[in-house]
A and B are shown apart, each in its own frame.
Chain A
Amino acid sequence: MTTSVIILVVGVVLVLTAVYISWRAGRLDRLHIRLELAREALDVALVRRAAVCLELAASRLLDPATSLVLASAAHEARTAGPDQREHAESDLSRTLRAAVDQERFREKLSEAPGGAGLLDELDTAVAKVVYSRRFYNNAVGVTRTAQRRWLARTLRLAGYTEYPSFFEIDDVPPLTMAAE
């Protein structure tokens, strides 16, 4: 009698533990999916911003000096390796601020043929970098906390997924297009 009760109790505990662990693993898996999607969105936003900058630089709507700094910063951002990427993207943000915050830049550009459309695309691209980076860093924070949990570490619930790192850049938009 007592033996069967003990076996029953041990069995129930084992099942509950298994359910709990699989729930934790499932949750971690969901977080990883979210993180991956956020990372993709951030990549898309950064590439898009650099592309719009290059397009603007090549549009002949700007003076040659502005075109040149904008094009070179955008090119640096596009081609930077993983280690230099945060630097290069921050530099692009700074260059954009210097270019767009020139006196009457917006007015002049929107008067030029095709300029208003480009300006609109630039606004969107800049805002999306800010948004996607916030969302990505949020996902990193949550995932890191979940991976650091005792259970996740001991049972290697994260599998071979890397410990994610934040993406830290200066993405402050130009004053005249500040979304906030």
Chain B
Amino acid sequence: MRVGLVCPYAWDVPGGVMAHIRDLAEALMADGHHVSVISPASDDDDLPSYVVSAGRPVPVPYNGSVARMSFGFLSAARVRRWVREGGFDVLHIHEPLVPSLGVLACWAANGPIVATFHASWVRSRAIAVAEPMLRSALEKISGRIAVSDAARKSLVEQFGGDTVLIPNGVTVSRYVEAEPLPGWGPDGDTLGFLGRMDEPRKGLPILLDAFAILAARRPGLRLLIAGPGDADDVYQRVPAEFHDRVVLLGMVSEADKVRAYHSVDVFCAPNTGGESFGIVLAEAMSAGAPVLASDIPAFRKVLGDGQAGALFSNGDAASLAAEAERLLADPDRRAMLSAEARRAVLKYDWSTVARDVLRVYETVTSPGTGVVEDKLSAP
């Protein structure tokens, strides 16, 4: 199948949407499909062979943050030419409500169009003003995909209709092997956490309380924390005598993140709710880290009811501490959980997710259909 993917944000700035498109494109190509991506990009030289530049990205404030997007006559002309010359069976637009290449592609093309909605947004004046314009773009879309329940909910509330849900995937192979960080390594006494430190829903305070309970009993116990947030808030929560045993890495690079997963004996995911899937959990499982997670429904499902990772009572620091202690004392169980996790996570690998996306493509296409230029909207 010939697939055209439209990326709304700059290719050279790492971000969730861009990573999603890159991984989807690579998974589809591995499956033997032809893929072309059009994306804003500031430098043509560094692009992978399957990416076409639609021009330089411009930073614009939109939906509460500043995004680097492309629009204007030049970009519109490039998108139109890409559609005309691509000969695609299906056009897959990402974030069609963002005023960037997605809207331009909707405008320039006719035929089977699929759209994926990533972000959730609050009902804003800007969206309300733009609604009639966006609505006519949305009317061209034959298949809508949401990556999370939140994204699906805001789309349905604002524009009606329904979507199918296909969550993000993990490229398992990227996490399988890495050197532990210097000075770290599974030594039988290391706990790990990854995520925003200042977001209560990620549950770091619960882990810190549990650490304070355990650290008094295990003199060698250390806690490795990676993720953005305020260090003072963290240290305030931990008794002063344990401060040197809690190490904050702050924001880490992609490579260091993988190494961090390989540096711990027990990876803790104390999230108190709201996670529709838990990408961090899936990454840790890919790396084979023994996982200890709160028993919220989403995690329970990913961990196969405790088969592929231990669970503790959500929000309960004492329960976390007790479970962590039991795991640290039992290397055999850790090894077993690690092996089970590596097996269970394959269900969330990109190859599986790409198969679902492909089913959507097959649903909206039929013999004789194909993406063509929309001559009516031609300038």
Contacts and interface: CB of A to CB of B under 8 A. Distances in A.
B238 interface: no
B183 interface: no
Interface stretch (B10-18, B97-105, B309-317, B360-368): B360-368
A141 B363 contact: no
B142 interface: yes
Interface centre among B143, B160, B165, B366 (most CB of A within 10 A): B143
A180 B165 contact: yes
Given A37-B366, A37-B369, A130 B164 contact: yes
Contact of A37 (B142, B144, B166): B142
Contacts of B217: none
Nearest to A137: B162
B286 interface: no
A88 interface: no
B72 interface: no
Interface of B: 136, 139-140, 142-144, 160-167, 356, 359-360, 362-364, 366, 369, 376
A82 B161 CA distance: 24
Interface string A35-47: 0011011001100
B21 to A, nearest CB: 20
A41 B366 contact: yes
Given A37-B366, A141-B161, A179 B142 contact: no
Contacts of A139: 142
Given A40-B366, A137-B161, A142-B161, A131 B136 contact: no
B142 A135 contact: yes
Contacts of B142: 34, 37-38, 135, 139
A27 B167 CA distance: 32
12 contacts: A27-B136, A31-B139, A34-B139, A34-B142, A37-B369, A127-B356, A131-B143, A131-B359, A132-B363, A141-B160, A141-B161, A179-B164
Interface in A109-147: 124, 127-128, 130-132, 134-135, 137-139, 141-142
Nearest to A38: B142
Contacts of A180: 164-167
B139 A142 contact: yes
A179 B356 contact: yes
Interface residues of A, number: 26
Interface in A15-46: 26-27, 30-31, 34, 37-38, 40-41, 44-45
A168 to B, nearest CB: 12
A135 B363 contact: yes
A134 B359 contact: no
Nearest to A127: B359
Given A27-B136, A31-B139, A131-B143, A138 B363 contact: no
A138 B144 contact: yes
B242 to A, nearest CB: 42
A63 B161 CA distance: 41
B139 A27 contact: yes
Interface centre among A31, A34, A141 (most CB of B within 10 A): A34
Contact of A124 (B143, B160, B359): B359
Contacts of A179: 164-166, 356
Contact of A134 (B160, B163, B356): B163
Contacts of A31: 139
Contacts of B376: 26
Contacts of A41: 363-364, 366
Nearest to A31: B139
B1 to A, nearest CB: 15
Nearest to A124: B359
Nearest to B360: A131
Q: What are the 10 closest A-B residue pairs judged by CB atoms, nearest first?
A: A138-B161, A180-B165, A131-B363, A132-B363, A134-B162, A135-B143, A127-B359, A141-B161, A131-B164, A134-B164
Nearest to A139: B142
A54 to B, nearest CB: 21
A13 to B, nearest CB: 22
A40 B164 CA distance: 18
Contacts of A135: 142-144, 363-364
A35 to B, nearest CB: 10
A45 B369 CA distance: 17
Nearest to B369: A37
A139 B112 CA distance: 13
Interface string A155-180: 00000000000000000000000011
Contacts of A30: 139-140
A65 B167 CA distance: 36
A121 B359 CA distance: 11
Contacts of B364: 37, 41, 135
